[in-house]
Amino acid sequence: MSVAIDVKAVTVHYGDVLALDQATLSLDKGRICGLVGMNGSGKSTLFKAIMGLVKPDAGTVTIDGATPAKARRSGVVSYVPQSEDVDWQFPLSVQDVVMMGRYGHMGPSRRPRKADKLAVAEALDRVELAKYAHRQIGQLSGGQKKRAFVARGIAQEATTLLLDEPFAGVDKRSEATICELLRELARDGATILVSTHDLHALPDLADEAVLLMHRVLLHGTPNDVLQPENLALAFGLDIATRSESTP
């Protein structure tokens, strides 16, 4: 199998704060990997480093062998940021947001052609948002907003998808819809890294999982990660004990 995401010994500081400490992670094409770690463990920073949005102090990142900047330019990678990182007041419709995924396909004029409009309509259909196409993006519910960003990645035909807590503030039905969509995309060959606090859903969602605490503590099966002794490493004993009692 060939490697899609390759993170080698990446260290990131924000001033004095150490967010990532020689984090290393390699993900093969077509796999869904769950990223698990407590608040502040560096998950968002890892996504930003993979996207090239923060510059590591040390270490390297490649996506399909290319630098993050090159991967972004060629459109192979798409990112669903945490809701807090998005300006929801921006005067863009849902359709406009999804159309952003087509920029790399449009040529220098940036004028949508028939194929772009078709790709956007299909992506909106796939995430069940067709009827909200003309609504301002901030006027969607939390789950719908996440689905709009997933649709952007689908329209883009990205082969690597990074999703930062797509299930936060999302009801169970929307979570199930997004999970099913991610599994379909992975079956079609996409590589997916997804952070989640929903540990119970992990085995259904992901092929593999990573425990992060500024560095990668463990990369194994979801069940490996859910072992109480491993959760204790990443979260402390409390959650490990609770996980044992409520499997």
Ligand X SMILES: Nc1ncnc2c1ncn2[C@@H]1O[C@H](COP(=O)(O)OP(=O)(O)OP(=O)(O)O)[C@@H](O)[C@H]1O
Judged by CB under 6 A, the number of residues near ligand X is: 11
19 binds ligand X (CB under 6 A): yes
169 binds ligand X (CB under 6 A): no
Shortest Å distance, C-beta 57 to ligand X: 13
Angstrom CA distances, 66 to 23, 62, 182, stand at 18, 5, 23
Shortest Å distance, C-beta 167 to ligand X: 12
222 binds ligand X (CB under 6 A): no
Rounded Cα distance, 165 and 44, in Å: 9
Binding mask of the shown chain, residues 28 to 67, with x at each position contacting ligand X by CB under 6 A: ---------x-xxxxxxx----------------------
14 binds ligand X (CB under 6 A): yes
Nearest 5°: CA angle at 41, between 62 and 15?
A: 80
In terms of C-beta density within 10 A (0-12 exposed, 13-18 middle, 19 or more buried), how is residue 232 classed?
A: middle
Q: Are 171 and 143 in contact (CB under 8 A)?
A: yes
Q: Are 80 and 74 in contact (CB under 8 A)?
A: no
163 binds ligand X (CB under 6 A): no
Shortest Å distance, C-beta 10 to ligand X: 12
* Interacting residue ranges for ligand X, rule: CB under 6 A: 14, 17, 19, 37, 39-45
